[in-house]
Amino acid sequence: MEMQMRAGLILFLVFMILQRGEGQLSENFYQTTCPNVESIVRKVVAQKFNQTFVTVPATLRLFFHDCFVEGCDASVLIASPNGDAEKDAPDNLSLAGDGFDTVTKAKSAVEAKCPGVVSCADILAIAARDVIGLAGGPPFAVELGRRDGLVSQASRVAGKLPEPNFNLTQLNTIFATNNLTQTDMIALSGAHTVGFSHCNRFANRLYSFSPSSPVDPDLDPTYAQQLKQACPQNVDPSIAINMDPVTPQKFDNKYFKNLVAKKGLFTSDEVLFTNTASKPIVVRFSKKQNHFNEAFITAMRKLGRVGVKTGKAGEIRLDCAAFNS
């Protein structure tokens, strides 16, 4: 009987540990092994930010793309000589090099002080938090303890990331897959306040929306004209447009004010306001910066727990672009 009880208890503990997965992250994970990790990363990120503002959207987007494919495990950072790693997938080809460079430089600085201790996944998570602060966004604590993944394949990316033409149902579905609510999704979309996009991601809204209306009627006509001037047909594919035309280098709630004014760049942005199911949240965030900040922090912390590897899973990569041999 005692044996059965002990076996039952062990099974229960195993079950609880498996359930905890996310709970194995903690804000003071490196307290004894690399106590200054956050200040080391912050210094590098600040230096990179001073060189180019692109550091902000590039690092944020890198974190988001990493977490939605294989979980937050730095799989997006792997470089393959065959061009078949996660970052080589069509949906990831537009990830700006400044995001990768930020993590590479931060990793080098951390390795110099704490060799073989801090994962690339955690460095990316810290850097993503830091760029938000540098752009004027809210401060928050980052949970740490992720390990780096052992899989990075371009073929596993399709269907895992939201597309610029998604409707609300499609957006909610893909975020729910990652344990994120509609409010989380809308808050995270607010990161577009410091984002930029290439013209081909929204050209259909300007030139070929529908047979009866080449321009999307949900676009403010003046804004549509400005976009057409910046993105003429057959424009250089490297041309990029600020997603927030008002305060493009400030992390604020202007993105939501823009949606209310029909100045959302993507269909997947504007639909948040035009759909009655999500509209009240957009309106609330547009009026109350603190409500957006609080929801954004909650969503970022939840995003950082998606599919994490902890304990003995994965590895601590020595070079963020390559698996340990």
Q: Any residues with CB less than 8 A from the CB of 186 and at least 6 apart, and which?
A: 272, 278, 281, 282, 285, 295
Q: Which is the catalytic residue, given 65, 192, 198, 291?
A: 65
**Which tokens hold the place of 16?**
């609880």
91-96 long-range Cβ contacts below 8 angstroms, 24+ apart: 91/65, 91/157, 91/158, 91/161, 92/65, 92/154, 92/157, 94/198, 95/58, 95/61, 95/62, 95/65, 96/54, 96/57, 96/58, 96/61
Helix H or strand E segment including 287: helix 279-287
Q: CA end-to-end span of the chain, whole Å?
A: 47
Three-state secondary-structure class, residue 322: strand
Helix H or strand E segment including 240: strand 240-242
| Beta carbons of 72 and 63 less than 8 angstroms apart | yes
d(CA 98, CA 138): 22
Catalytic status, residue 198: no
CA 66 to chain centre: 7
Which residue is associated with the tokens 């963020």? 320
Q: Any residues with CB less than 8 A from the CB of 244 and at least 6 apart, and which?
A: 192, 193, 194, 195, 254, 255, 258
Beta bridge partners of 309: 147
**295 C-beta neighbours (distance < 10 Å), count:** 20
Active site positions, annotated: 65
